[in-house]
């Protein structure tokens, strides 16, 4: 089994199933906090997909995209918690 076949038949299906499961949590999520965590996890899985695809297609440039994506996800989660914190104090 080559590395590319391993990516195609094991890693990508696992990540796809994970995206679906996390999306169910994002859709159902009883609390707003659950949705924030689900969104953060969704972006983290996106970073994993980009990284695996970058290894599979041997393009190091895609890693920069994943880096900026991680940065924006971090900022988004902080912004969510910042405004949730502000909302609870009122």
Partner 1 sequence: MRSAILQTASRYLLPILLLFSVFLLLRGHYYPGGGFVGGLVASIAFVLHSFAHGTVNTMKVLRYKPLTLIPIGLGIASLAMFMPVFFGLPVMTGLWLDEPIPVIGMLGSALLFDIGVYLVVIGVVLTILFTISLHTH
Q: Which residues bind partner 1 (CB under 8 A)?
A: 61, 64-65, 68, 71-72, 75, 78-79, 81-82, 85-86
Nearer to partner 1, 31 or 85 (CB): 85
Q: Closest separation between CB of residue 62 and partner 1, Å?
A: 9
Nearer to partner 1, 18 or 77 (CB): 77
What distances in angstroms separate CA 27 from CA 20, 21, 24, 36, 37, one per listed residue?
A: 10, 10, 5, 11, 12
Nearer to partner 1, 21 or 63 (CB): 63
Q: Which two tokens stand for residue 28?
A: 């159902």
| Cβ proximity of 7 and 58 under 8 Å | no
């Amino acid at each position: 089994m080559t590395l590319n076949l391993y990516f195609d038949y094991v890693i990508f299906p696992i990540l796809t199933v994970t995206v679906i499961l996390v999306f169910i949590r994002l859709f159902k999520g009883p609390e707003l906090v659950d949705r924030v965590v689900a969104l953060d996890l969704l972006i983290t899985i996106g970073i994993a997909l980009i990284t695996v695809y970058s290894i599979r297609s041997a393009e190091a440039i895609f890693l920069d995209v994943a880096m900026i994506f991680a940065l924006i996800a971090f900022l988004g989660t902080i912004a969510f918690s910042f405004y949730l914190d502000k909302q609870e104090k009122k």
